[in-house]
C-alpha cells in the first residue's frame, strides 16, 4: 500500500480535509497526484489507530475530514468492548470497525468481507497498525441465509457494495462471490462472537436468518446494525426487529449527534 509520508499526509489534511468540512465538498488532489502519483493519505483516527485513506472513497474522505466514522456507533462500541471479547465485523469493508475493536483491546476480530479487492485493503490497514492474523481473521466471504455463490454488486463507494436490490447504491459492476451462514462459520471454526457489527446494505435479514443459533446464544450480548427506516425512524422491514426480539434482544435506535434522520439508521440490539 503506497502512502504519502506522514508529514505530507498531515499537510494535505490541513489544506484539503479540515475538521467539520463537508465530506462531499472535500477537494480532489489533482495537482498533488500529478506531481507525486496517487497515494493513500494516512490519518490517526480519533479512536487511536492509523488508517491509510483513499480520498476517492466517501467513507475514507470522511475519516480524513473528521478522524472518526459514525461517531455514535464508534463511541458505543468503544464503551462496551472489553479484552475478552470476540468481535465479528460483518460487512467489514476497508476495516474501520475491525481496527476500532482491536484498538479497544478485544481478544480477536473476525472480519467478513466478500470483495477480494476490499479484503486486500483491509489486510493492508491491519499491517499498517502492526496487527496480524493472530488478532484478526479476514474471511473473504459474505454471510447470508444459506451457503451459495451470489452476485456482489459493487457500488461507486466501497461502502455501498452488497447483495440484492438496495435502492441507495450506484452500481459500477459485479462479481460472483462465496457466501456462508453465521451459524455454519461458528460451528466449523468453533468460535462464538460476544459483540457483532452488521453493515450489509439491505442484506441484514438474510444474515440474521443464517445465524439463529448464534443469535440465541447468550454469549452474544450486543449487535450494532444498519437498517432502512421511514420518517419516524421505524425499520422499513419489521422482520429484522422480530427476529432479534425472538432471540432475546432489546433494540434501540442509535441517534446521530446532529439529530438528523436519514434513509438508513444505526441500531443497537442488546440483552
Per-residue confidence (pLDDT) for residue 18, from 0 to 100: 76
Extents of the domains making up the chain: 6-66, 71-270
Report which of 55, 51, 139 is spatially closest to residue 97, judged by C-alpha positions.
51
Cα–Cα distance between 58 and 62 in angstroms, integer?
A: 6
DSSP 233: S
Per-residue confidence (pLDDT) for residue 99, from 0 to 100: 99
C-alpha cell at position 31: 495537482
Q: Give me the tens of pLDDT residue by residue for the chain, a chain 271 residues long.
A: 899 889 889 988 888 787 776 666 666 677 677 777 789 999 999 999 999 999 888 889 889 989 999 999 999 999 999 999 999 999 999 999 999 999 999 999 999 999 999 999 999 999 999 999 999 999 999 999 999 999 999 987 777 788 977 677 677 899 999 999 999 999 999 999 999 999 999 999 999 999 999 999 999 999 999 999 999 999 999 999 999 999 999 999 999 999 999 999 999 999 9
Cα–Cα distance between 224 and 194 in angstroms, integer?
A: 12
Cα–Cα distance between 180 and 146 in angstroms, integer?
A: 6
Looking at domain 71-270, its CATH architecture is: 3-Layer(aba) Sandwich (3.40)
Per-residue confidence (pLDDT) for residue 152, from 0 to 100: 95
C-alpha cell at position 225: 446494525
3-state secondary structure of 3: strand
Pairing of strands 86-90, 222-228: unpaired
Amino acid at each position: 500500500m503506497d502512502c504519502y509520508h506522514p508529514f505530507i499526509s498531515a499537510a494535505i489534511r490541513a489544506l484539503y480535509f479540515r475538521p467539520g468540512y463537508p465530506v462531499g465538498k472535500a477537494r480532489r488532489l489533482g495537482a498533488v497526484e500529478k506531481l507525486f502519483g496517487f497515494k493513500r493519505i494516512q490519518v490517526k483516527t480519533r479512536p487511536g489507530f492509523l488508517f491509510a485513506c483513499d480520498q476517492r472513497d466517501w467513507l475514507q474522505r470522511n475519516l480524513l475530514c473528521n478522524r472518526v466514522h459514525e461517531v455514535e456507533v464508534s463511541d458505543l462500541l468503544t464503551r462496551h468492548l472489553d479484552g475478552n471479547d470476540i468481535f465479528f465485523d460483518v460487512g467489514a469493508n476497508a476495516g474501520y470497525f475491525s481496527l476500532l475493536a482491536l484498538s479497544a483491546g478485544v481478544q480477536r476480530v473476525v472480519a467478513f468481507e466478500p470483495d477480494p479487492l476490499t479484503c486486500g485493503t483491509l489486510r493492508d490497514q491491519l499491517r499498517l497498525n502492526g496487527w496480524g492474523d493472530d488478532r484478526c481473521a479476514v474471511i473473504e466471504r459474505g454471510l447470508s441465509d444459506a451457503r451459495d455463490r451470489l452476485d456482489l454488486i459493487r457500488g461507486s463507494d466501497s461502502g455501498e457494495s452488497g447483495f440484492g436490490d438496495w435502492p441507495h447504491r450506484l452500481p459500477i459492476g459485479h462479481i460472483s462471490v462465496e457466501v456462508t451462514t453465521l451459524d455454519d462459520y461458528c460451528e466449523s471454526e468453533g468460535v462464538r462472537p460476544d459483540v457483532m457489527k452488521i453493515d450489509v446494505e439491505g442484506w441484514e435479514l438474510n444474515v440474521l436468518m443464517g445465524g439463529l443459533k448464534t443469535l440465541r446464544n447468550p454469549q452474544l450480548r450486543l449487535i450494532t446494525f444498519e437498517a432502512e427506516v421511514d420518517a419516524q425512524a421505524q425499520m422499513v422491514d419489521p422482520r429484522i426487529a422480530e427476529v432479534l426480539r425472538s432471540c432475546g434482544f432489546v433494540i434501540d435506535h442509535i441517534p446521530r449527534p446532529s439529530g438528523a434522520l436519514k434513509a438508513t439508521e444505526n441500531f443497537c440490539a442488546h440483552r
